[in-house]
Structure formats: structure tokens, C-alpha cells
Structure 1
């Protein structure tokens, strides 16, 4: 294997068998990054020196007959809100560059590294994760590899672009209101937002503690499962991390959608989408022989609660920075935080109370279904610089409304896999595969089945 854009499974198989060395894979990865990232601006930091050391260690382990790990030689990168030892944790901002370098890697970076994966850098993102576009005022616009005139989505913009362009096989992002799912959909790759509390957030810069999730982005459902399996496990440093048994999801993928009760989300999830988005969901549903529709009750209010919780908690986190360094924020981000600081505490309390009620209403649906399909975004990737979004006869602000369909699910922390639906001559679209809490395995099985059918695919973008 001489080309970097293989899947994580393909690369690990080649390295573990001796068919390719980790050093060869890393050389190809570096060449791919150098070839395309000048245009895309997915990376903000490169860690090639440590990567070379890790690659040599893996090659030595293989030569000595030792197990190099299930992800041996797999290049990965992380959204720059993850702590990377020796680097300041930017979180997409100018202000954080003045922080002292991290003294340790984030927990999930350590777990991937222990499994043999090789960290090659930090990735561009929306400032303090408050973004759906990928247009960072400090590190530059992260462009969509499917068409560089279009948005990559955010806030895990670099994560989506780096994977779609074949610069890395695997990336980590965060998802508070849709920041893994939106770039996955717009860039045409697979993404997993696990159950809230499943993966520890220790060693990452927060956005909104009540809603923050971490998860992987990749070009196959199998790669999501492989990385998810090695990242699981309780960590006491994160108060939200749950003590749950580790799911071995990669071993269950062959079961596909057999025996699963699947439905399409109706009502709210059909009213704001462009026709081609609904067609993508219908295409996936038809392939799975799904005819049933369910109504997720009060989804609009669920989204409103997510807005209030997000803006209240994130504004409180940044009050000191707003007082002392307001001019160093991107103006769009600054105004959002300032507005959030004015939200009455009573609203926040009501939003949290509603969230619990809403969680229970949606959970009740899973007594009769195992999976719910819904659109990931209301449209394909908009052009860079667009500020308004036309949906039917209504024109709305673009930035917040890219999360129209992701926020109602973030609010209650259910696991979701985004499956990419490619379209000839057009930008890709994404379908959300939603499962009950702690059942990531079912969502991954459905994504793997759609991939086997050729309905969901994530080819390496040619970068045009």
C-alpha cells in the first residue's frame, strides 16, 4: 500500500500483516497533506516528529512479532480543542493561543495511540465550537473537499475536510448541537455522535458541558466502530462519563439491519428540508424496506431548549474573556456570547426541565422501534460566505439553521450515526441514524448495511 487514503481497517490490516510499514503509510500521509491542505486549510498544527517516532515503534513491534494494536499505523488528527501534549489548546480561537502548552494528551488521543493509531496534527474548527460553517476568522476558511467553493460545515470543519480529502483515515471531533454530524453530511463521510456520557471528554476545551459529546469521523462504518471500540471506558476526570460496559460494535456489523424495527421521522423532520434532502432519506429507507413513520414529539421545543442551554452555559464560561479580550473574538461569536449572557436564569432552568420531559417522550418511541432515520441537514453544503438559507418559501439565517435537524437530538444525548449519500454531479447529503441511548451498535449496523448496499459511500474527494 503506497497511498495514504486507505480506510483505517485497510491500513491496520496491511501494517499488522507486514504488507506495509507504518513509516510508509506516514510518508504517504504527509505527502497527501502537503498536496491538498494548502487549499483546504483543514490543519492548524502538524505533529510529524512525534508521528515518525510512533511509526518506528509500530514497525519495530511488527518486526519483533509483538501485537502493534488494532489500529496499527492508522493516521488520525483531532479537532484543536483536544489537548495535544506540547501544544496550546486553541479551541479555534485567538485568545487560547496564549495558553501554556498541554502537558498531556486528551484521554481519547491516548486511547487511540495505545491502539496503534498515529496522531499527525490538530484540525481547524469554529471558534470555541460555536459554528456550523467552517469559516474561522483566525485560522482561515476550511473548505469542502467535494467543492472548495462550498462550506465544510462546523464546528468540526477540519475533521470533516481532512477525512473526506483522504489526508487522514480517522479524525476526532466534538458535537454539542451537530458539530460532528453537520460536517460529516456536508463533506460526504460517516460520523458518530455517541450517547452523552459514553466517551470521556477529559483533556478537551469545553463548549457547553450539558451537551458536549466527542466522537469519530471516518470514511466507513467499520472505521467508526473500530475507533469507537478502543475509545470506550470510564474516566473519573469527566463527571458526565458513565460507567457502562464496553460495546464491541465492530464484531456486530455483519448482522446489518436484520430484525431491526426502523422508522422515518416525520412532521418536524420533513417541514424544513429541501426536496433532495427528503429524497436522500427516502432512498435509504427504501433500501432498508422501511415504510413506517414516527413523530418525534415537540422537536421544535427540543431545539429551542438546546439553544437556551447552549448559549447560557457557553456565555458563562467566557464571561472573563468577554470582559478583558472582547476584540480578540470573531465578531459573530462575540455577539452570540454577549446575547447569551443576557438570558434569564429562569429560562435556563425551564429548558433543563423541559429537556428531561422531552428525553422521556422520545425514549418511549424506542419501545416500538430500534432505529429512526432523519435528515442530517436541511440542504447540501452552502457556498462559502452565504449568510441566508432559503427553505421553501422561507428565508432564514444560515449559520444556526444548518443544525435544524441535529439540535433536537443533541438536546437529549441519543446516539446518532450519519451515513453519507453521494449524488452524481451534486454535493452529498447525510442521513441521521438515531438509536436509543447506549445502542450505538444498532446505528452502526444500519450504517454498515447501507454501505454494503452502496447507498452510503464516502470516496476520497478529488478536492475540486
Structure 2
């Protein structure tokens, strides 16, 4: 058996479809692939702190079952043997769902896998563990006072971004080829940007959230991270489908995109986000957006009306819904929260109902105005983060000549998008010394277009996930 069809000569994971074909053809075994992933985790996780739980016994049992099915000539799915991991707010049977907190550890282990874990494994993928995250997903940095900070694979003194920080670090560091995370205000897109990888935040309601720990139910999305567009698309395809266990998961037909990403971008109307999205950026972020716009031939400018108010309303709704979810914990175990998270939740519990009602009315107005923008364009290019990954613990940064707080500035350009549930693919722009991401935004339910654009950019060499140090 050989792993040359699994790793490139420089030690990178090959494309998921290559791994699957190698396993299905007998060139290697699922068990060998899983053991290789577990070895990488053992070697690199002490530095990156991406994993909080490693499900080695389960993974090896799944791999043996796949190898047995292959030996019998049975079909094993398009992700056969491909290792993946999930943010630790996904239920994993037999594992306590931490959601990044101290309090949840006292709960019972999950009795059943999250819906998306089930769907990934039905496609042949093998779960190898759960990943570090910000407490209760209320975080943009990847810093966790209970489990320690996840660390950026390109510079371990820097943030991964959050709250899916372990997911970004695990894929950016090539511990696994695919990981799953959640995005409420930017928690897939921020780690993708800081860690130099691809991330997909689908349309709100596209992928089931069943058996995951919520943060803001009216804003929560789930989605994948990967180092290649093809892997992002394949994982997305495996997870699609309506689910009665998630009231928001729309009953839409499954629209597989893996076969469509090479369709090309001829005829697509592509614009750069203007106004608000061209402010509060470092030179690195401005240059990254300009490079992607140039590579796509984008000359038009699209305006999101009152995006600053959208961000403010997203903050308000997040803190109020989050506080409502945690009221009992705040009353009984306030001392066991991260103080920064606890204080924001306390503030949310005191927001007058009239302000929440006003924010929701504005949300409906804003969604209608943005959908009007998509009558004239198919794709909008926008910054994912205002800057490359800050150093761990960094408190302030300079944006447009003004000193601003890092923590609340990270989501400046993601919150006005997830606020109304638009699909976004974040693409990595390799830079020295640190990569940065750019958002490819499309109309609701048009993930296919975003992935097509990302594939075009990848093929043109405009974007790539840079190799992690030490991988």
C-alpha cells in the first residue's frame, strides 16, 4: 500500500476525489489514510491547538468498515476515506458537545451525530475529531480561556480568527483536508481569511443545523473549509438536503455543484462592493480585493445601502438572541463564562424589546434593498477581513488612520452579509508574510456561481491556500 496518491511530494493533502479514488481502487486503504491524519494531528496539534477531542477509535473503526465494504465490491461514496473534523458545537455520538465552554462539559455525551456529520460519513468521509472554538461561538479571534487559543498555522503567534478557529487552523495547517464550522456573523469567513484557506457560508437554511449547539438561531449557518475549491464543493454537495429537524432548512431540491464549477464565468456580471466596503481597510486588504477584482475583470461598483446600520443591527440581534439562549446559565453559573462573553450576554439581556423590533424591521428592509442590487449583478467582490491575522492578545489596530479595537473590527465586512443570509465563498489571496481572504458574494441559493468564480480564480493562479509552516 502507498500514500503517494494521498499526499503530494511536499506533504500536502491531495484533492479529496484523488484520495477517494485511491482508497476505492485499493491503491491505499482508508485505514492508512486515517492513520496518516491521526499522526499529523499528534505531531502538530500540540502547537496549533486546533483539536479538543480526537476520535481515533471511532475513525479507525469507520475506516476498517470502508475497507471491508470495498473488498466486497460495495459502493463507498465520493469522499471514501477522506478525513474531516468538526467544530466542537457539532454533536458527535459519545462526545460531550462543548461549544467552546466550561459549563457544557458537565453535560451528557451526545447520543447521536449532528445531521451534517451523518451526511459526510454517508459519503464515505471519516470523522477524526472535534475542533477548538470561541466560547459559545461569540468570538472573532479564536482565543478561548478554557481550552487555550487556536494558533495560526502560518505564524503561531497570531490569531486563527473565530469562532471556528480550530477549523481554520486544522485545514490551514493541513492536519485534515476538510473541516466544518459555523458562521453567524463571520465565523467561517474570518478564519478562512486569517488562515489562508477556502470557506463556504451557504445561504441561510441551505444546510441542516440539526444537533448543533446554537448561538443566534436566526443568523446561524453551517459550512465547510478546505484547501481547494473542488473539496469545498464536494463537501457541500455531500451535506445538502432538507431536514425536518431544522425548521430553517429550506425544502429545496439538492443542487450538486461539483460538476458545475468548471463551467466558466463568461456572461457573469461581476462588481466590487463600494462605499462602506471600501473603508476601514489596511493596504493589504485593499490590495487583495483589487487583485481579485482585476483577475475577474470587475469594473462595476455595487452599493449595499446602509451597510453600517446592517452591522449595528446584526450586533444587536446577536447579543439579544444569544442572551436569551443563555439566561439560565447566566443566572446560575456566571463565574464559569469567559468574562468578555458573559458581559456581552448580560448587555443583551437588558436591551429593550422596542430596539429589537426596530432592528428586525430594518433587517427586512435591508434584505429587499440588497436583493434589488442582485438584479443588476451576479457576483460582488468584497473584503473578508479588514487586515491579516493580528497577534494573539492584540487589542487595537489602525484602520484608515484611526486606532480601533481589534475584536470588534474583525467582522466589519462580514456582518452586513450574514445578517440577511447571503451565500459567500471566501478565497485566499497568498501574501507575505500572511495571507488574507476576499468574499465572493452571490444572490440567495446561488452557491454554484460563487464556487465557479472561486474555481476560475484558482485555475488562473490568482488564489491558493499557501503551505503551512511545518506541514
Q: 1:463 to 1:331 in 2, by over 3 A?
A: farther
C-alpha separation in 1, matches of 2:426 and 2:448 = 13
2:456 is matched with: 449
Question: C-alpha offsets along residues 227-257 of structure 1, whole Å, 9 cap, x if unaligned?
Answer: 1111011111111110111111101011132
C-alpha separation in 2, matches of 1:316 and 1:9 = 43
- For structure 2, the residue ranges without an aligned partner over 5 or more in a row are none
Instruction: List aligned pairs for 1:400-419, cutoff 5 A.
Output: 400-419=408-427
Q: 1:224 to 1:166 in 2, by over 3 A?
A: same
1:305 is matched with: 313
Asked whether the 8 Å contact 1:69–1:115 carries over to 2, the reply is: yes
Q: Say which of 318, 321, 326 aligns to 1:318.
A: 326
C-alpha separation in 2, matches of 1:200 and 1:73 = 23
Q: Tell me, what secondary structure is at the counterpart of 2:416?
A: helix
Q: Tell me, what secondary structure is at the counterpart of 1:150?
A: coil
2:301 is matched with: 293
Asked whether the 8 Å contact 1:5–1:460 carries over to 2, the reply is: no
Instruction: List aligned pairs for 1:8-23, cutoff 5 A.
Output: 8-23=16-31
Using the TM superposition, name which of 304-313 and 384-393 deviates more. 384-393
Asked whether the 8 Å contact 1:148–1:463 carries over to 2, the reply is: no
Instruction: List aligned pairs for 1:383-398, cutoff 5 A.
Output: 383-398=391-406
1:349 is matched with: 357
Deviation at 1:9, TM superposition (A): 2.5
2:121 is matched with: 113
Asked whether the 8 Å contact 1:163–1:219 carries over to 2, the reply is: yes
Q: Say which of 346, 357, 371 aligns to 2:379.
A: 371
Asked whether the 8 Å contact 1:44–1:122 carries over to 2, the reply is: yes
Asked whether the 8 Å contact 1:126–1:132 carries over to 2, the reply is: yes
State yes or no: 1:178 paired with 2:182.
no
Asked whether the 8 Å contact 2:152–2:159 carries over to 1, the reply is: yes
Asked whether the 8 Å contact 2:86–2:180 carries over to 1, the reply is: yes
Question: C-alpha offsets along residues 393-419 of structure 1, whole Å, 9 cap, x if unaligned?
Answer: 211211121000000001000000000
C-alpha separation in 2, matches of 1:9 and 1:406 = 31
State yes or no: 1:245 paired with 2:253.
yes
Asked whether the 8 Å contact 1:249–1:441 carries over to 2, the reply is: yes
Q: 1:133 to 1:463 in 2, by over 3 A?
A: farther
Question: C-alpha offsets along residues 153-202 of structure 1, whole Å, 9 cap, x if unaligned?
Answer: 00000000000111111100000000000000000000000000000100
C-alpha separation in 2, matches of 1:382 and 1:459 = 18
C-alpha separation in 1, matches of 2:406 and 2:224 = 25
Instruction: List aligned pairs for 1:97-112, cutoff 5 A.
Output: 97-112=105-120
Q: Tell me, what secondary structure is at the counterpart of 2:251?
A: coil
1:427 is matched with: 434
Question: C-alpha offsets along residues 73-99 of structure 1, whole Å, 9 cap, x if unaligned?
Answer: 010000000000001110000000011
Deviation at 1:463, TM superposition (A): 4.3
Asked whether the 8 Å contact 1:273–1:391 carries over to 2, the reply is: yes
1:83 is matched with: 91
- For structure 1, the residue ranges without an aligned partner over 5 or more in a row are none
Q: Say which of 264, 267, 275 aligns to 2:275.
A: 267
Deviation at 1:147, TM superposition (A): 0.5
State yes or no: 1:437 paired with 2:444.
yes
Asked whether the 8 Å contact 1:373–1:434 carries over to 2, the reply is: yes
Question: C-alpha offsets along residues 99-135 of structure 1, whole Å, 9 cap, x if unaligned?
Answer: 1110000000000001000000000000000001011
Question: C-alpha offsets along residues 126-152 of structure 1, whole Å, 9 cap, x if unaligned?
Answer: 000000101100001100001001000
C-alpha separation in 2, matches of 1:15 and 1:249 = 23
C-alpha separation in 1, matches of 2:150 and 2:80 = 28
Q: Say which of 46, 50, 73 aligns to 1:42.
A: 50
Question: C-alpha offsets along residues 35-82 of structure 1, whole Å, 9 cap, x if unaligned?
Answer: 110001000001010100110111112222211111000100000000
2:232 is matched with: 224
C-alpha separation in 1, matches of 2:174 and 2:25 = 22
1:28 is matched with: 36
Question: Runs in 1 of length 4+ with deviation above 4 angstroms?
Answer: none
Asked whether the 8 Å contact 1:80–1:91 carries over to 2, the reply is: yes
Asked whether the 8 Å contact 2:279–2:400 carries over to 1, the reply is: no
Asked whether the 8 Å contact 2:181–2:224 carries over to 1, the reply is: yes
Q: Tell me, what secondary structure is at the counterpart of 2:127?
A: strand
Q: Tell me, what secondary structure is at the counterpart of 2:158?
A: strand
State yes or no: 1:146 paired with 2:154.
yes
Deviation at 1:288, TM superposition (A): 1.2
Q: TM-score, normalised by structure 2?
A: 0.97
Deviation at 1:265, TM superposition (A): 0.2
State yes or no: 1:162 paired with 2:162.
no
